[in-house]
Amino acid sequence: MSEEASVEYRVIEGVAVVTLSNAPVNALAPGMREGLIESLDRANEDGAVKGIVVTGAGRNFIAGADIRQFGKERKVSSSVSTAVLDASRKPVVAVIRGYALGAGLEHALACHYRFATPDAKLGLPEVKIGIIPAGGGTQRLTRLVGPKAAIDIIISGRHVSARNALELGLIDRIIADDVALAEAIDFVKRLPEGKGIRRVRDMNGQIENAKANPDDWTSARDEAASKARFVQAPHSALACIEMAVNGSFEEGLALEQSLFAELESSDEAKALRYAFFAEREAAKIPGKPENYKGEAVRSAAVIGAGTMGGGIAICFADARIPVKVLEASQEALDRGMQKTRDTYAAKVKRGSLTQGEMDESLAYIQPVIDYEQIGDADVVIEAVFERIDLKKEVFEKLDSVMKEGALLLTNSSAIDIDTMANATRRPADVAGAHFFAPANVMKLCEVVRGTHSSVETILRTTKLGRDLNKISVVAGSCDGFAANRSRAPLVTEAMLLLEEGARPDQIDRIMKAFGYPMGPFAVSDLSGLDVSYDTRKRRAAADPGYRKLHVPDRMVELGRKGQKNGAGWYRYNPGDRKPIVDPEVDAIIADVARELGVEQREFSDDEILHRLLFASVNEVCKILEDGKAYRASDVDVMWLYGFGFPRHRGGLMYWADTVGARKVAGLVEAWHEQFGKRWRPARLLLEAAAAGLPLRELRAPGV
């Protein structure tokens, strides 16, 4: 057992209390399962012990297996320790506080009773890292709550609240935190002598019910299977649940073991584990002062109630942080608030929110029109039009009204943070909080460091992002910051490929087959071709060397704006979002190519995929050289949460490593020769290729 991990054994009033401890969340480290088994043997042997209570030290039961151990050999697996719990000749009660996830819940399921405190969160999130529960979780959960609920819990990987767990029959009772242990001990003491063994493996009520009403759960199974198009783990989990219904407990355990063994070292599981750790790594901020304890934000203000401001206000309201929304005019404010109400109302209509919850959320949003009213907020996020003069003016005002120590944040997508910071007398308190549209849905919060942003400002902003239920990742200030800057070359390449003969629907098909939910052209139709057109015009005016993108420019000039007017890269029937391939688009592309004298040709799927993604891989290397992101893996996290990059591919740079840095660099060099400047190979890419270093481990200088 590692130094921090331990299993404590005490006897209190004739009841053995076994406490698993491994700060901070009691992940099952090597040795802990052995310790648990020893304790159970000891209690079963001791004639003075009537029963056993298993619990976790501190705020949690067991948050899961130690993920670092996956793919390595384990001496004793959860399948063994859960079997020992299950077989105990004396009753075993689990007392669950905080997290009981993965192997944690599997151990609780193998106990004979489950008591949980109101803050408990239970779940089997294994499929999210490409594996399945392998400590009997699929078999016991199905027996306890039935296959339909088991499918929901295992396939979504969601956290089940104590209240919901009680409704489902997953736990036996909810107990108050301060008396939890005493109550469990008392419960064991009151059990009739020699009675009280109640093994989940022997419970058949739910199974018989499922057999009698198969339609009830098979439709849930079919739906879950149809959604898991690129990953195996959900299918394996469904097979185990099905075996729980139709086979014996032993057959179910055997299937679980064999399917787990297949998955554990699969490419999918490795990529998903990488994504999991990349996300954790992204939360580490270099230069964080020791013993830093940041104050949480308790009140907020948002400037501008447009597309982004409205969405950001919803994020605050949903996180139960009071937010004031300020607009330039009463009219604009009324319009913005109406849109916010409509957004909530649509959720109520869909059934994902109750009217009561909508009203509660809306009560957290206060519309205001006067700067004096926002001065006492802990944070303000500016989301007005993307115009430098306007941004400066807003930050001058914020500087004069906001209380000392307030965080001053901008949601700008491209303007240098220093421009806003320098409009204030407190540039250390200014940073970017770049949300992605729609802000209340997309999970990425790109935290942008200006030259003067203090490390405390960055720490507070990343924490704020997390409190708003986002994934915060830090970038440096440059055109497009790290996320959009790294994706821009992909978009450029997609447009230039059209000139050379690729078709929008072909590119979309390839990216969807790669795992994206939508192709780049369908996305462009959704957000509107005119938006990027305007950005390109601004860039071209500012940079004489700017590479004009003739095809999308022509599309907009011919009035094709995307879904909003029924014609973009695809055609849309009125009221329908289904893209229809439009021969007119092919004709427009062919015209442009002819005018430019570019010869059109056929492309293979691989060539298209590599042209698109290698362009961005090369850019990520340049971003790191410039110190505009801490780590390559941070950009991978941005792509996962900002752009829908398929998670089972790990991330852009992780995927590039599966191709190999050598091959990437070779093609980038070849395309540099063919196409010139835009393919200039990054120094870091060439170095990694020459030294055989993984691209996913590249970092900015000094990080």
List residues near ligand NAD by CB under 6 A: 303-309, 326-328, 332, 336, 383-386, 390, 394, 411-413, 435-437
Of 64 and 568, which has the nearer Cβ to ligand NAD? 568
Of 274 and 436, which has the nearer Cβ to ligand NAD? 436
Q: How far is the CB of 474 from ligand NAD (least distance, A)?
A: 17
- CA terminus-to-terminus distance, the chain: 32
- Classify each residue of 372-401 as buried b or exposed e, where b means 16 or more C-beta atoms within 10 Å of its C-beta: eebeebbbbbbbbebeeeebbebbebbbeb
In 10 A of CB 323, how many CB atoms?
23
Of 307 and 600, which has the nearer Cβ to ligand NAD? 307
Q: How far is the CB of 339 from ligand NAD (least distance, A)?
A: 9
Q: Which of 8, 34, 106, 262 is catalytic?
A: 106
Contact 501, 602 (CB under 8 A): yes
Q: Which of 3, 34, 126, 268 is catalytic?
A: 126
* Dist CA 213 CA 147 (whole Å): 11
Q: How far is the CB of 393 from ligand NAD (least distance, A)?
A: 7
3-class SS of residue 484:
helix
Contacts of 533 (CB under 8 A, 6+ apart): 552, 553, 556
Q: How far is the CB of 373 from ligand NAD (least distance, A)?
A: 13
Q: Which residue is nearest to ligand NAD (CB)?
A: 306
Contact 360, 337 (CB under 8 A): no
Closest CA to 412 of 399, 428, 438, 431: 431
Of 18 and 315, which has the nearer Cβ to ligand NAD? 315
Q: How far is the CB of 78 from ligand NAD (least distance, A)?
A: 44
Of 482 and 700, which has the nearer Cβ to ligand NAD? 482
Asked about 106 being catalytic, the answer comes back as: yes
Of 149 and 420, which has the nearer Cβ to ligand NAD? 420
Q: How far is the CB of 566 from ligand NAD (least distance, A)?
A: 21
Enter the tokens of residue 321: 């942080």
Asked about 45 being catalytic, the answer comes back as: no
Contact 17, 55 (CB under 8 A): yes
Partner residues linked to 471 by β-bridges: 444
Helix axes 249-264 and 78-87, enclosed angle (nearest 10): 160
Query: What strands, in cross-sheet order, belong to the sheet with 300-303?
Result: 365-368, 323-326, 300-303, 379-382, 407-410, 430-435, 444-449, 471-476
3-class SS of residue 192:
coil
Sign of CA dihedral 546, 551, 557, 563: negative
Of 526 and 703, which has the nearer Cβ to ligand NAD? 526
Of 385 and 675, which has the nearer Cβ to ligand NAD? 385
Q: How far is the CB of 383 from ligand NAD (least distance, A)?
A: 4
Contact 285, 328 (CB under 8 A): no
Q: How far is the CB of 444 from ligand NAD (least distance, A)?
A: 10
Q: How far is the CB of 320 from ligand NAD (least distance, A)?
A: 23
Of 483 and 661, which has the nearer Cβ to ligand NAD? 483
Q: What is the DSSP string of 64-129?
A: -B-GGGTTS--SS-HHHHHHHHHH-SS-EEEEE-SEEETHHHHHHHHSSEEEE-TT-EEE--GGGG
Q: How far is the CB of 93 from ligand NAD (least distance, A)?
A: 51
* Dist CA 354 CA 360 (whole Å): 10
Strand bridging mode 121-123 / 99-101: parallel
Partner residues linked to 16 by β-bridges: 11, 52
Q: How many CA atoms lie within 13 A of 162 on its CB side?
A: 19
* Dist CA 629 CA 703 (whole Å): 10
Burial class (CB in 10 A: 0-12, 13-18, 19+), 547: middle
Q: How many CA atoms lie within 13 A of 328 on its CB side?
A: 10
Of 241 and 394, which has the nearer Cβ to ligand NAD? 394
* Dist CA 79 CA 253 (whole Å): 8
Strand bridging mode 113-116 / 173-174: parallel
Contacts of 644 (CB under 8 A, 6+ apart): 516, 517, 518
Chain CA centroid to CA 242, Å:
29
Contact 525, 570 (CB under 8 A): yes
Q: How far is the CB of 422 from ligand NAD (least distance, A)?
A: 17
* Residues marked as catalytic: 106, 126
